[in-house]
């Protein structure tokens, strides 16, 4: 797991921005810049070259997807920088666009409510900085409810969908087994079934590929 991270933070709500700075610094990280708009985010990233960026999706001037566009631009220019995006609500298009900008991992999408669960938020940030893909559990559950008949995902059993949803949350086989109250061997069997039904290339990281296929629908 990564240790002390150098972070550039972008959040236009001053109170939340200062709260995030406090949480991150108390955890031992260095916030090299805390800004309120995407333009400043891009400028500080280019100058400071942080380990990680934490950014809101909606920021001035239009309060649409400035943060998301900035995140995609940062990954295009600096693929080594991990990105954690925060959103006030579930937005399927944002998830897909974000994942498309970073197929190699090191990307996260969390709802702002998750920040209140400080340990969970910090753990997710560490995992993203370590190269994992982390998606908010609430986002995963909502997408699962919407996509029961989409493409190859329709071939999965209910149990396989449960396993895949937990994989998308970033859980290990052991954690999935504990959550579903089954053996780890049973989880490995379901994971193998998911890989086979989604026809994933054995030469790739099939766990990540399965999660991305699920989230993109």
pLDDT band at 122, cuts 50/70/90? very high
Q: Using one digit for the tens of pLDDT, what is the confidence trace for 194-216?
A: 888 877 766 656 666 676 666 65
Based on the fold, state whether residues 179 and 156 are members of the same structural domain: yes
Instruction: Tell me the mean pLDDT in the region 134-153.
Output: 67
Residue 172: inside a domain = yes
State which residues form the domain around 89. Answer: 6-135
CB 86 within 8 A of CB 111: yes
Based on the fold, state whether residues 117 and 146 are members of the same structural domain: no
User: Looking at the 3D structure of the chain, how many domains does it have?
Assistant: 2
**pLDDT of 148:** 53
Three-state secondary-structure class, residue 56: strand
Burial 144-169 (b: 16+ CB within 10 A, else e): beebeeeeebeebeeebbbbbbbbbb
- Which residue do the tokens 């972070």 mark? 7
Query: Which of 84, 101, 135 lies at the terminal end of a domain, its last residue?
Result: 135
**pLDDT of 195:** 82
Query: Which of 111, 135, 159 lies at the terminal end of a domain, its last residue?
Result: 135
Q: Give just the sign of the alpha carbon dihedral 81, 15, 137, 144.
A: negative
Percent of all residues in the chain with a pLDDT value above 70, rounded to a whole number: 77
CATH number of 120's domain: 3.40.50.2300
Q: Using one digit for the tens of pLDDT, what is the confidence trace for 33-73?
A: 999 999 999 999 999 999 999 999 888 888 888 888 898 88
Higher pLDDT, 164 or 45: 45
DSSP 155: G
State if pTM tops 0.85.
no
Query: Which of 112, 135, 158 lies at the terminal end of a domain, its last residue?
Result: 135
Following DSSP, what letter does each residue of 79-139 receive, concatenated?
A: TTSEEEEEESS--HHHHHHHHHH-TTS-EEEEEGGGGGSHHHHHHHHHHHHTT-EEE-HHH
CATH number of 178's domain: 1.10.10.10
């Amino acid at each position: 797991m990564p240790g002390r991270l150098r972070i550039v933070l972008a959040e236009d709500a001053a109170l939340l921005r200062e709260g995030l700075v406090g949480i991150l610094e108390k955890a031992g990280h260095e916030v090299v810049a805390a800004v309120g708009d995407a333009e400043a985010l891009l400028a500080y990233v280019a100058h400071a070259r942080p380990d990680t960026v934490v950014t809101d999706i909606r920021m001035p001037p239009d309060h649409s997807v400035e943060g998301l566009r900035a995140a995609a631009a940062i990954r295009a220019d600096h693929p080594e920088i991990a990105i954690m995006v925060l959103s006030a609500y579930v937005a399927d298009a944002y998830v897909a666009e974000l994942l498309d900008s970073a197929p190699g991992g090191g990307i996260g999408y969390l709802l702002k409510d998750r920040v209140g669960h400080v340990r969970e938020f910090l753990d997710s940030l560490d995992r993203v900085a370590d190269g994992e893909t982390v998606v908010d559990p609430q986002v995963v559950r909502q997408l699962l409810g919407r996509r029961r008949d989409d493409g190859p995902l329709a071939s999965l059993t209910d149990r396989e969908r449960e396993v895949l949803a937990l994989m998308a949350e970033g859980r290990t086989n052991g954690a999935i087994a504990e959550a579903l109250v089954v053996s780890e061997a049973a989880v490995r069997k379901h994971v193998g079934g998911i890989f086979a039904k989604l026809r994933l290339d054995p030469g790739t990281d099939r766990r990540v590929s399965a999660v991305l296929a699920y989230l993109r629908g």
